[in-house]
Structure 1
Amino acid sequence: MRSAGLSQTFIDNFRFYYEQLVRGATGYISHEEAQPVETLPSYQELDTSLQRAGERALSRTLVLKLNGGLGTSMGMDGPKSLLPVKGDLTFLDIIVRQVLALRRRFDLPIPLVLMNSFYTRTATLHALEAYPELKEQGVPLDFIQHMEPKIWKESLLPAEWPNDPDKEWCPPGHGDIYTALVDSGMLKALLDAGYEYA
């Protein structure tokens, strides 16, 4: 992992979870542990000052979406976000249009930031060329999550594909967002630009 340029923080995080796996941890939360929320206040019952506070925070807010997954289980060979879901519109088109609508509604340059994987980045950025207004947001449009070694289920050893070493790696999933934000420099860029909320 070091020779692949991965940070010590990420390596330590991988080691922590790998050691749990070796000890037999599954990562599953039982039905008994996952209790539903019993009550929530209705929107109409909330103090209107909360809405005003939220609107004031919008100038320091960005939309952060996780976009590292491939649609291979759905027969795709690219990012899930490029799956057409409403006519010709993809998930990504809908996300972008939601962000652009927020910008118009509040007259603020609310950025869209994607956490891509090494699998999804190229195709996603190509699709986003259809939205030139995203380039004017003042912060990078994406950052790339880490990669981790694939592990054989049976032996818990690293997978090896000598003919195609890229297949020895996979994106670590959503939990990588915090480490990837820091290691990529994106967190610093967002904070330096005045963004505090996502």
Structure 2
Amino acid sequence: MATVTLSPAEAEKISTLQSAVASLPQISENEKSGFINLVARYLSGEAQHIEWSKIQTPTDEVVVPYDSLAPAPEDAVETKKLLDKLVVLKLNGGLGTTMGCTGPKSVIEVRNGLTFLDLIVIQIESLNAKYGCNVPLLLMNSFNTHDDTQKIVEKYANSNIEIHTFNQSQYPRLVVDDFIPLPCKGNTGKDGWNPPGHGDVFPSLKNSGKLDALLSKGKEYVFIANSDNLGAVVDLKILNHLVRNKNEYCMEVTPKTLADVKGGTLISYEGKVQLLEIAQVPDENVNEFKSIEKFKIFNTNNLWVNLGTIKRLVEADALKMEIIPNPKEVDGVKVLQLETAAGAAIRFFDNAIGINVPRSRFLPVKATSDLLLVQSDLYTLNDGFVIRNPARANPANPSIELGPEFKKVANFLSRFKTIPSIIELDHLKVTGDVWFGAGVTLKGKVVIAAKPGVKLAIPDGAVIENKEINGPEDI
């Protein structure tokens, strides 16, 4: 275990915890020591305190403008060489429960009957076919998504793409009162455990044996992204830049809008580039952190990392990302789960950079309002890539707020005969029992609010522009 300074009381807590964890048959020795290490670091209060006055805005050398990158090689042989160094890894540990779905979020249908996972596979297949390369796909599952994902990937067995799955660590949740793991108190079901955030991708790659296998095949870079970010596709310009400049780590950032004010940002601090998250910001500086003037960019969680460096840093136990304590309640018991974020690892890598990418590389689907965007005429689908409609002049997407009646995917789909045309929409807010007919067009600023207890049906073919609608008489 790494050396951390603990008070006698804290050391006793860790000693008790070690003997409790030793009795848990569900997890490996690697997971046990990783967990104890994380808790010891948390108890020691080693959180890195940011001195606000030392924060500097990164220069263009540190956060490179996307437009300044050299073009990707035009020669197909050179492109194949480049792609043969690459592995794509999607973070696939999340469930679709917030959108009313069971199973992994990546199997929600996005468009034309295709799921997130289908689109990812089609994209990599077309790359492999076009250049004759072998870019494998890795899925990092959690214990929540592993079994379902194993069944789902069987349907890609005949595709020209190697798919590997591995599990991220499984750590016990801690009972707040006495710091004993919840599973040691009889709660051995899934509620007793948590995946420790996507910062765990680095040790889990190593512990699963996947990292050494990839290195032995000559792979050099991994492109890590959330499986629900439809904009996170392989970018040859970025890969070419990293290989040429020997960057060990690259975080894609993009300009903030008012919707992203809580997102982590990159700063220069004591000569290193690092991620600054809202949780690390002193209370008196939170408004400044949220301002778009000083902190103009945020982390998309599209990360490009050198595989050899991951191996070196994990073996040296050098990745000490900030710990994110996440309090929860299970059956009335207050518990704590400790997590880390992959983006926070940037400060441990040499020659690490950000690249300020176009907004099109950040298209996450977190709620049905995002599903409305990607299923509308604002986007088309080509070779698995979701392409934005050039007919929309405004670079920003419309802001969409749907009421609780639309929260679950099944309810959302049943309330639209067809998805409305929104190319000229700026803002939509829908509340109450609202149903949309076929071929509806929404433009400008539209508010549709059904009166309580009243069903409001928007007729087929309706064109609604800059209007507030409370009943049929307003259409």
TM over 0.5: yes
**CA, structure 1 residues 50+13, in 2 after alignment: closer, same or farther (shift >3 Å)?**
farther
Measure how far apart 1:116 and its partner are: 1.3
2:213 equivalent to 1:192: no
Measure how far apart 1:148 and its partner are: 0.4
Q: 2:29 — aligned with what?
A: 7
Q: 2:115 — aligned with what?
A: 90
Asked if 2 retains the 8 angstrom alpha-carbon contact of 1:68 and 1:173, the reply is no
Asked if 1 retains the 8 angstrom alpha-carbon contact of 2:125 and 2:160, the reply is no
Q: 2:462 — aligned with what?
A: none
Asked if 2 retains the 8 angstrom alpha-carbon contact of 1:22 and 1:156, the reply is no
Separation in 2, partners of 1:120, 1:70: 7
Q: 1:16 — aligned with what?
A: 37
Separation in 2, partners of 1:108, 1:55: 5
Separation in 2, partners of 1:74, 1:16: 34
Separation in 1, partners of 2:103, 2:173: 19
Measure how far apart 1:81 and its partner are: 0.8
Q: 2:186 — aligned with what?
A: 162
Q: 2:104 — aligned with what?
A: 79
Aligned match of 1:183 in 188, 202, 207? 207
2:87 equivalent to 1:62: yes
Separation in 2, partners of 1:73, 1:27: 32
Partner SS for 1:63: strand
Higher strand share: 2
* Structure with greater Cα Rg: 2
Tell me how many residue pairs correspond in the alignment: 194
Separation in 1, partners of 2:114, 2:46: 40
Q: Output aligned runs, 1:40-59, within 5 Å.
A: 40-43=64-67, 45-48=68-71, 56-59=81-84
Asked if 2 retains the 8 angstrom alpha-carbon contact of 1:70 and 1:78, the reply is yes
Q: Deviations over 1:8-59 (max 9, x none)?
A: 4x4343233323444567899899998775643343x433477777653211
**CA, structure 1 residues 25+50, in 2 after alignment: closer, same or farther (shift >3 Å)?**
farther
- TM-score normalised by L of structure 2: 0.35
Q: Which runs of 5+ in 2 are unaligned?
A: 1-20, 223-475
Separation in 1, partners of 2:109, 2:57: 32
Partner amino acid, structure 2, of 1:84: E
Q: Deviations over 1:115-170 (max 9, x none)?
A: 11222122122222222234763xx6211112100124565442246365343222
- The higher relative CO (CA closer than 8 Å, separation ≥ 6) is in 1
Farther off after superposition, 171-180 or 30-39:
30-39
Aligned match of 2:166 in 143, 149, 165? 143
Q: Give the percent of matched residue pairs that are identical in Structure 1 and Structure 2.
A: 34
**CA, structure 1 residues 164+13, in 2 after alignment: closer, same or farther (shift >3 Å)?**
closer
Partner amino acid, structure 1, of 2:26: A
Asked if 2 retains the 8 angstrom alpha-carbon contact of 1:134 and 1:141, the reply is no
Q: Which runs of 5+ in 1 are unaligned?
A: none
Separation in 2, partners of 1:35, 1:93: 42
Partner amino acid, structure 2, of 1:197: Y
Separation in 2, partners of 1:76, 1:13: 32
Separation in 2, partners of 1:46, 1:7: 44
- TM-score normalised by L of structure 1: 0.76
Measure how far apart 1:76 and its partner are: 2.4
Q: 2:6 — aligned with what?
A: none
